[in-house]
C-alpha cells in the first residue's frame, strides 16, 4: 500500500514539474516576441554623396565638352528644302559640311544627287564621272559632272540626276549607304534617317 502511494505521489510530482517548465518556456517565448515587437526599428543611415575634387570636376567638364563637340560634328540625315525643292542631306546638325544631298526636281521628275568635297584626283570642272550608290542589294549608278567646290580648292563636288524610281528610295532602307566616286568609297550611316526617307519619298512622288 505504501509503495503504491509513493508511486502515485512521484507521478504527480513529475507531472507538476513538467507543467511548470512548459509554462516558463511559453512565458519566455511570449516575452521575447513582445520585446521584439516593441523594439524600435533602426533607420537606414543617410547616404552621403562624395564631393568631387577639383581635378575630378575639371575632368568631368572636359568630358562634357568633348561629347558636345562630337555631337555638333557628327553628321546626321536632315530633311529640308534646297532651292525650294524637298531635300534629304547627310550633314552636321546645323547643315554645315554636307557629304551628300538628294533633292527632287518636280518639273522634270528627277532627283538631283550631289556628292561633296571629293579630292580632285586629276578631275577638272566639267569632266564626266560615274557615281555609284548602294545599300545591301539596292544599287544605283548615275552619270555625274564635276562641279567646283567653293570652300576647298583641292576638292570638287560631283552632281548628277536620276529618275524618281524605287531603286533610289530602296537605298535608304538599309543600315548604311555606300557612295563610290573616283578615288574614294564612303559608307554613310542610315541610323539617324528614321522616317525622314519615307517623308522624302512622299514629297518626291507627290511632286510629280
Give the mean pLDDT per block of 10 residues along the chain (208 residues).
Answer: 56 52 47 49 68 75 59 80 93 93 90 95 93 96 96 94 93 95 94 94 80
Question: What is d(CA 172, CA 190) in angstroms, rounded to the nearest whole number?
Answer: 7
Return the pLDDT at 23.
Answer: 44
Return the pLDDT at 62.
Answer: 67
Hey, where are the domains in the chain? 77-206
Return the pLDDT at 74.
Answer: 87
Residue for grid cell 571629293: 118
Q: Which residues contact 74 (CB under 8 A, 6 or more apart)?
A: 92, 93
Judge contact between 155 and 172, C-beta under 8 A: no
Return the pLDDT at 63.
Answer: 66
Return the pLDDT at 138.
Answer: 95
User: Could you tell me the three cell numbers for 20?
Assistant: 511548470
Return the pLDDT at 48.
Answer: 65
Residue for grid cell 523594439: 39
Beta strands at 155-163 and 110-119: parallel, antiparallel or unpaired: antiparallel
pTM of the predicted model as reported, rounded to 2 decimal places: 0.66
Amino acid at each position: 500500500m505504501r509503495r503504491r502511494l509513493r508511486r502515485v505521489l512521484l507521478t504527480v510530482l513529475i507531472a507538476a514539474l513538467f507543467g511548470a517548465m512548459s509554462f516558463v518556456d511559453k512565458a519566455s517565448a511570449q516575452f521575447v516576441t513582445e520585446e521584439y515587437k516593441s523594439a524600435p526599428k533602426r533607420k537606414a543611415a543617410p547616404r552621403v554623396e562624395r564631393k568631387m575634387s577639383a581635378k575630378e570636376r575639371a575632368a568631368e567638364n572636359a568630358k562634357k565638352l568633348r561629347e558636345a563637340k562630337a555631337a555638333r560634328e557628327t553628321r546626321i540625315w536632315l530633311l529640308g528644302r534646297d532651292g525650294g525643292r524637298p531635300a534629304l542631306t547627310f550633314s552636321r546638325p546645323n547643315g554645315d559640311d554636307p557629304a551628300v544631298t538628294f533633292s527632287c526636281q518636280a518639273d522634270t521628275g528627277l532627283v538631283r544627287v550631289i556628292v561633296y568635297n571629293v579630292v580632285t584626283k586629276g578631275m577638272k570642272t566639267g569632266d564626266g564621272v560615274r557615281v555609284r550608290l548602294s545599300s545591301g542589294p539596292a544599287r544605283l549608278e548615275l552619270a555625274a559632272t564635276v562641279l567646283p567646290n567653293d570652300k576647298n580648292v583641292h576638292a570638287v563636288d560631283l552632281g548628277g540626276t536620276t529618275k524618281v524610281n524605287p531603286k533610289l528610295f530602296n537605298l535608304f532602307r538599309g543600315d548604311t549607304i555606300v557612295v563610290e566616286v573616283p578615288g574614294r568609297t564612303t559608307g554613310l550611316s542610315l541610323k539617324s534617317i528614321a522616317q525622314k526617307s519615307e517623308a522624302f519619298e512622299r514629297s518626291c512622288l507627290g511632286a510629280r
